[in-house]
Structures are given as structure tokens and as C-alpha cells.
Structure 1
Amino acid sequence: MQVSRLGAPDDFDPLLERIGSARVVMLGEASHGTYDYYRLREQLTRRLIAECGFSFVAVEGDWPDCDLVHRSVTGAPGGDDDPQRALERFERWPTWMWANAEVARFCRWLRAWNIDRPAGQRAGFHGLDVYSLWESMQAILDYLGEEDPASLEIAQEAYRCFEPYGTRIEEYGLASRFVSARCEAEVVRLLARTRERAAADGADAFSAWQNAAVVAGAEKYYRAMVGGGPQSWNVRDSHMADTLDRLLDRYGPQARAVVWAHNTHVGDARATDMAPGGMVNIGQLARERHGADDVVLVGFGSYQGSVVAANRWGAPAEVMTVPVARAGSIEERLHHMLPEQAMLVFDPGDRPHSGDRLGSGDRSDLGERPDWLGEEVDHRAIGVVYDPSFEAWGNYVPTRLGDRYDAFIWCDHTTALHPLPAATAPGELETYPSGV
């Protein structure tokens, strides 16, 4: 295991060495509302794109909203000249996850990086998530109306199937349990038709195909959600993993991807209590599909600070205090072991040993893996809904840190990020097991 202080972008060198030729790098976050995670993730991603040739960033966000950003950062026809304007058009709660000053700064850099490069060499920005059923349906109707009127009826049939449930689309899932309300056949026809078009057309057809895949995933998600348990989570993360693979295929055999998502999605589920509960996530699926040597998973964590979150689903965002970490947690251990900002890089060939205190220098190569990296210890996870008073009972995931991640970025004291002004529309019901 190697330990580095963090203070400048060059301090990520040990992690870049660990990444090597890996095709997928997933960068997590212990909350969706922490400035420090977004800033460090931005610094690292800039280096991955500029120095290592990574092809695109894929985030835990909706495809249609992120496609507006993608068109801006790649200079596509009709895209905004300023990516911040695209981010300010995000409407689905919680908008602050991506419509914030930190993401706007990165996207402005990305546009500047892209603009002097040939179109085929520009780095993209895409959404992986499954929630945007209505937005994706409208995007498909708009595309087919202009490019493939003969297929428009198929899309309209799918739209009409969902229309009785209006904005309360979770009612579709409930109805499908008791009456013949399923829209599956219409959605499958729509997906097949747009996939056909995408094989013979360009970026717009691919986007329509992806929107059809979102509709298909959402239909499964809402049916699974009403049943409770882990199935809706698995539908969502499998959809995100499938979207990632679809993007890698789209960008070509040499494509490399950076993923931004919560630790709960990025860190391998098999190293947590998610696996006994029957849950998978994109970190696990990527390792299984691409091989552990071709995937690098990076977690984030902190001891205390502040965060942007809401006190209930759909409520306004507010700045909340994050109390000191629970006794016995990974965060408490690292608070006593590490400087203010640091990075741990785990060697896959490390062997356990009994030492567990890190050296005090700027960089330390401990060679063998400390025993505590393989122990199951509580690891904090803050969702978009957060109650600091619940720290004694919840907000933690039992984790074997060295198995869940390939590296870990530590910020002892963190501060809240800076949301952009946005018109917020009600979001979907809280995701299982929490809003992450």
C-alpha cells in the first residue's frame, strides 16, 4: 500500500501509475453534496483526459439532461456556448448533484480542451441513470418526428401506454401488480426500432437508442420498486453498467471511461453487506465484465465537515453539519492516521500484515497490506436525504476497504458544494436502500 499527501494535481501520480492502461476508472464520493470530493475528482479527471487520453465522463445522472451538457462541451450543433447554461436547465430533484459550480467549472474546462480538437477526438459527458422516463420519451418523439416518421407510431404507442399514470409514474408499477397494465411489449418494440436506426446512423440515433434503453429500464425499475427489496436497485445499477458498456462500444475499441458516482455504486458490492442482501452495483459489474485489471475503483471519505442535502425526499437543499465519524469506523481510524488530505493506493498483490499506523512523511510505501484493510468496518455513506442525528444508527455501510476499492482519497474536514440556481421539479421516490 502506498500513501501520499494531496495538495496539488501532481500528487495523483501514484494513482495514475496504478491506473496504467485500465479502461475504466470509477471515482466515487461519500456524499452528493461535498465540495472537496467534486474538486479532487475534477483535478484527477482533467489529468486522465489530458494525459491519459480518456474518452468520456459518465455520471450518475439522467441521459437527456447530461446530453445537453455533452453537446455543449463537445461543441455539437445546437449546444450551449457555456456548459453552465446547460446545467442550469436540469430540473429533476435533486438538481444540486450536477447543477453546481464545481461541475460547471469542470465542464467549462472540458469544452476549452475539446474545442480545438477534431470532433472524433473530443471527450464526452454522459448520464448513466434510469429515471428520466418522460424526458427520454419526449426526446425519442422529437427525434423520430424529424428523422424517422415511419417509426413515430411505435413511440406514440409506448407513450400512450404510460400516459394514464402522468407524473406519478410509480403508480404504473403498482397497477402492474394487480391488473394488466404493463407497457413492456410497447417498450420492447420501441427499443428494437431505435437500436436498428442507431446501427445505421450517427450520434443523434445513438442518443435516441439510449433514451429507448432508459424507457425500458425505467419500466422495469418502477415495476420492481413497488415490490420492495433489492430488485429495483439491481435494475438501476445494471442499467448504468449496460449504458457504460454501450458508450465504450460507441467510442471504439480504444475507448477509456471515467465514471462519477456515489461510493455505494462505485465500491464493489461484494466487499460490503450489500452482497448478502442480494444487491450488485456498477463497480462489481464492471470488474466482472471487464476484469479487475482493467477497472480501477476509487472511494472517497471524510471525518467531519458540512454537506448539501435535504431533510426529506423532494425538500429544498440546505447546508448541514456532518458530525465527527462514528467510533470504530474507517473514518475515525483514518482521522488518527492520515494528514488533512491524503490518498491510499492499494497494490493488488499486497499481503496482510499486522501494522496499521502510517508513516508521517509525505509519501510512504508500506509494501504489504495492513490487516485492517481486509476487516469489515463501518464506512459512512451520505445520500441526498440526510439526518445528521441518525449517525448513531445509520448512514454507514459495513465495508472491507481494501477489497471494495483499489484506492481511497481522504479529506479529514470537508465543506459543502455550491448549487447553481435551478427550477426544481419533484423527483422519483427514494431509491433502495437510500437516496444514493
Structure 2
Amino acid sequence: MSGADADDVLGAALPLEYEEDLNPLMDRIGDARCVLIGEASHGTHEYYAWRSALTRRLIAERGFSIVAVEGDWPDCRRVGRSVTLAPGAARDPRDALNAYARWPTWMWANEETVKFCQWLRARNAGLPSRERAGFYGLDVYSLWESLRAVVDHLAEHRPEYLDTALDAYRCFEPHGEDPQSYGWNTALVPDGCAEEVMELLTRLRRPVPHTVHDPEEEFDARQNAEVAAGAERYYRAMIGGGPDSWNIRDVHMADTLDRLMAFHESEQGKGKAVVWAHNTHVGDARATDMADAGMVNLGQLARERQGRDGVVLVGFAGGPGEVVAAPRWGGPMEVMHVPPPVRGSLEEVLAESELHRGMFIVPPEPDLPSFLTRTLGHRAIGVVYDPDRDRRHYVPTRLADRYDALCWFRITSVLAPLHLEAARRGELETMPSGV
């Protein structure tokens, strides 16, 4: 690294030691309605802790009412009911998070997320129910859980549609909740269960008179049907390989985010959302080699739909340390050593400046330091990681185009899972690996 790079890094860095150091980022966020906050791994304490700190301030100071994460809708719904003090929900969000069973459990069943959700519940307790902030899942994986939730809802509230839901559920039954079995079957029967799921979704999209339903319950049922439809498309696409399954997943997350913001706008008069997801979903794909591979992502779609002024994208980066990950898909979690960054990477440029930790906010002027504008590898550790092949875990990135801000930690530490062992239930691997 050149001395000019070191000078540029140190000249552009803002302090990041205390929560008040987030003030410049809060100023950059301004009146944006959507803030997407990333992570460079699913198992690093610093990313989760500082993401939580920024989110607390956005909720308390800027009126954000949605925390939407890269997690399954049904699991996050249970957490959301706990943090909003819904009748019959867990009194401690720890119990709802500890119930996560689908691999990789450590992504959300960890002490860092517990601490944030306990704070959110305590804050919500002092507010009227219509003003409470919620916790939601954006992901597409929970096909069978979501179908069961739809069946249960319709049996109680809209029995005229129950047969349609049961038809969809029976179509998937022969696959025994095995997404790989369903995916391979659709190679022989290309339409799979698409017709049954779309019929169910069409019925649930029909408006219901407000006098006969709970808006939140109806939204939950419709979203579970949307998940089932998205998951059916996702598992069908997975077998064919290529970017289609990635795009289906990220478009589903973007659509879910739009629905959440619209629902909160209609029910609360505000629909401001914070998103927690991996950098590969949060950072604009057009500033990476993902675009050349035909891939889109959540950050790109949010900017396109909400406008650049309405969205702020915050990335994270880190040097060596420890991380929770698994050596293979569906394998047990391990505490792994993260090696120093590879030569020519963004992380190497930042590390060799000897900056311990700091924040970079992309300025509006066109004359930017070269480390913000040239293409550099940016480390991306998924739930599956092999430290001996670390050089494979870098995404070519133009930082100033990918994010609006970046938080850097020269040394990283492991997050604290609630489970000692990951449950060995999972889905087909995503592209890029495990994010």
C-alpha cells in the first residue's frame, strides 16, 4: 500500500468509539425512509453490536418503526410479537430467539440480537400499541412453515379459502419438507406446485372489509402466502443454477420491504425501515462483479424504488480475528480464525493505515480518495467459511458506489450464539456462498 493510500484513509476516517460518534452518519441519513445496514459476516460481534447501536438511535430519534432482517418470516414474527408486547407472546424476546431451529440458528439466536430486542420491547412498553416498532423477517426459505400458518389462519378466520390452502399444502406433502426433493421433482414436472400456490395467493390478495378482520393478522397471512409463492419459485430455480435463484430471493426481500413500509404507513402514518442483512444484499450490486453475472440485490432495488435520497446503505468491513461459521452447508457452527486480508483488498488498504476502527461517509463531491473509487476486493464471509481459502471470499467493489458509508474494525471478535450446536436443518445453498 502506498503512503498516499494511508494518508487518504486517515484523512477520510471519522471516529467510531462511542455511540455519539454516529452523529455524522445520522446527519447523512437525514430524512431517508430506509436505511440498510450490512455485515461482512454472519458471526462477528462488532457488526451486530454497532448495527444495533445505529438502529436504536434511528428508532428513538428518527421515528423508524420497522426492523426487517435477513431471516424467516414465521420465526421473526414470533420475535416481533414479543417486542411489541402482543397478547400471548413471549415476555422475554430471548425465549423467541432461542426457539430458532432452522440452520444457521446463530444468525439471529445470539446474545447481540437478544440485547437489542430486549431494549426494543422495553421501549415499546411505554408507547401506545400503534406506535410500537416491530421486528420482521424478509427471507424466502420458510415454505412449509408459512403454508401451515396460512392454513391455520384461514381455518379460523376465512374458512371459505381453506380448501385452496389445503390444495397447496397437499401438493408439497410428497416432498417431506425437503426443498432439494421438490427442486429435483420440478426438473421433471416444471410447473411443480406453482398453480396451487398462486391460486392461494390470489385469494389472499383480495381486500377484506375492515369491520371483519384484524389488519395485522391479515397482513401476516398474506405475507406467509407471498413467502410460499416466492419459496416455490426459489426452489425451482435452485436446481438450474445461475443467478435466477439469487435474484428471486432478493426481489422477494425487496417486495416484502415495500409491503412492510406501506402497511406501517397505512396503520401508523409512518413507514420508515431499518434493514439488517449481509453486505452482499445491502451494498448496491451494480458496484460489484455481481452485476456482470446478471445479479441484482436488495440495496440496488431499494435505491431504484425509493430514490437515492430516500435510501442510505451502510456497509461493514473488518480485519483478522474470530468468526462463527460452519465448514460446510448444514454443518455445526465453529469459532474460526479470520486471517489477515489478502493483498490488494480494501481490507488490506484499511488495515495498513493502522486505523483501529473508524467510519467513512462517502462525500458528495466527485474528487474522492482513490480507495473509495477504484475496484478493490471486499471480504464477504458467509455462514459457510474456509479460512484456508479466504482469498475466494472477496467481492470486487467500488466502495463509493456500493455504499453511502462504511464502518471498519481492524480486529474482529466472535459473536455469542445462544445454541452450542446448530440445528442440522437447512436449505439449498445460495449464490454467492451462504449469504
Q: Go from structure 1 to structure 2 and tell me whether the alpha carbon gap of 1:199 and 1:128 turns closer, same or farther (over 3 Å shift).
A: farther
2:238 is aligned with 1:225: yes
- Deviation at 1:372? 2.5
**8 A Cα contact 1:48 1:54, kept in partner:** yes
Distance 1:382 1:63 in 2: 23
2:109 is aligned with 1:96: no
- Deviation at 1:180? 5.6
Deviations 1:125-158, CA, capped at 9 Å, x for gaps: 0000000001101111111111111211110000
Distance 1:257 1:189 in 2: 30
Distance 1:402 1:30 in 2: 17
Match of 2:25 among 15, 29, 36: 15
SS at match of 1:327: coil
Corresponding residue of 1:350: 365
Distance 1:157 1:113 in 2: 42
Q: Go from structure 1 to structure 2 and tell me whether the alpha carbon gap of 1:215 and 1:292 turns closer, same or farther (over 3 Å shift).
A: same
Match of 2:146 among 136, 153, 167: 136
Distance 2:233 2:85 in 1: 34
Corresponding residue of 1:357: none
Letter in 1 for 2:433: S
Letter in 1 for 2:335: V
Corresponding residue of 1:322: 338
Q: Go from structure 1 to structure 2 and tell me whether the alpha carbon gap of 1:415 and 1:423 turns closer, same or farther (over 3 Å shift).
A: closer
Distance 1:227 1:415 in 2: 37
Corresponding residue of 1:236: 249
- Deviation at 1:339? 2.4
Give 4+ residue runs of structure 1 displaced > 6 Å after superposition.
none
2:249 is aligned with 1:259: no
Distance 2:83 2:356 in 1: 33
2:295 is aligned with 1:279: yes
Deviations 1:300-350, CA, capped at 9 Å, x for gaps: 001111000000011110100000000110001011235212100112x22
Corresponding residue of 1:363: none
**8 A Cα contact 1:141 1:155, kept in partner:** yes
2:310 is aligned with 1:294: yes
**8 A Cα contact 1:5 1:339, kept in partner:** no
Letter in 2 for 1:45: T
2:390 is aligned with 1:427: no
Superposition pairs for residues 96-175 of structure 1, below 5 Å?
96-175=106-185
Deviations 1:7-42, CA, capped at 9 Å, x for gaps: 111000000000000010000000000011001111
Distance 1:112 1:254 in 2: 21
Distance 1:209 1:229 in 2: 29
Q: Go from structure 1 to structure 2 and tell me whether the alpha carbon gap of 1:94 and 1:121 turns closer, same or farther (over 3 Å shift).
A: same
Corresponding residue of 1:360: none
Superposition pairs for residues 267-416 of structure 1, below 5 Å?
267-337=283-353, 339-347=355-363, 349-352=364-367, 369-392=368-391, 394-416=392-414
Deviations 1:197-217, CA, capped at 9 Å, x for gaps: 567431111001000000000
**8 A Cα contact 2:66 2:136, kept in partner:** yes
Letter in 1 for 2:300: Q
- Deviation at 1:74? 0.3
SS at match of 1:299: strand
Superposition pairs for residues 31-46 of structure 1, below 5 Å?
31-46=41-56
**8 A Cα contact 1:345 1:407, kept in partner:** yes
- Deviation at 1:173? 2.1
Match of 2:63 among 53, 65, 74: 53
**8 A Cα contact 1:230 1:433, kept in partner:** no
SS at match of 1:306: strand
* TM-score w.r.t. length of structure 1: 0.94
SS at match of 1:414: coil
Distance 2:209 2:38 in 1: 33
Q: Go from structure 1 to structure 2 and tell me whether the alpha carbon gap of 1:243 and 1:281 turns closer, same or farther (over 3 Å shift).
A: same
Distance 1:183 1:198 in 2: 26
- Deviation at 1:433? 2.1
- Deviation at 1:419? 0.4
Deviations 1:256-280, CA, capped at 9 Å, x for gaps: 1000000000000000000010000
Length, aligned pairs only: 418
Letter in 2 for 1:413: I
Letter in 1 for 2:366: R
Q: Go from structure 1 to structure 2 and tell me whether the alpha carbon gap of 1:407 and 1:338 turns closer, same or farther (over 3 Å shift).
A: farther
Q: Go from structure 1 to structure 2 and tell me whether the alpha carbon gap of 1:39 and 1:375 turns closer, same or farther (over 3 Å shift).
A: same
Deviations 1:281-306, CA, capped at 9 Å, x for gaps: 00000000010111000000011110
Distance 1:195 1:207 in 2: 12
- Deviation at 1:116? 1.1
Q: Which moved more, 1:195-204 or 1:27-36?
A: 195-204
Q: Identity of counterpart residues, as a percentage?
A: 57
**8 A Cα contact 1:197 1:205, kept in partner:** no
Superposition pairs for residues 192-231 of structure 1, below 5 Å?
192-196=202-206, 200=210, 201=213, 202-231=215-244
**8 A Cα contact 2:102 2:424, kept in partner:** yes
**8 A Cα contact 1:198 1:209, kept in partner:** no
